[in-house]
Amino acid sequence: MVNISVHMEPDPEEFGKALKREAMRVAQEGLNEHGAEMQRRFDAVYDAHSGQPVEEVEAALRAEFGDALTDEHYSAYVQAISEGRRVEVQVQPLDQQPPAT
């Protein structure tokens, strides 16, 4: 029996590209899961409070999300649900987002 050991040095550029691709894949997966969870939470409020007065919808939405949303977002989402319109969460692919400034 002959044992052969081969040691290969990775190409730093290719390794960096592969690492970036994997990091983006994992990050996108996490964002997609978070978006799906947010959608489930919005749907729960919508199912229970669609068409109800703004005050009731806002109380339910704030109970569900706490301080996770801005007042501007709360206003838009409350209005939509109160009018019987479903809030749709859309997660933009990371490779299509503008670079951070």
Residue 47 reports pLDDT greater than 80:
yes
DSSP 55: H
pLDDT confidence of 8, banded at 50, 70, 90?
low
Would you state the pLDDT for residue 6?
A: 65
Mind listing the pLDDT tens digit for each residue in 51-80? 999 999 999 999 999 999 999 999 999 999
Give the contacts of 72 (CB within 8 A, at least 6 positions apart): none
Q: For residues 39 and 34, give the distance between their C-alpha atoms in angstroms, rounded to a whole number.
A: 9
Mind listing the pLDDT tens digit for each residue in 21-41? 999 999 999 999 999 999 999
| Among 42, 39, 40, 50, residue whose Cα is nearest residue 82 | 50
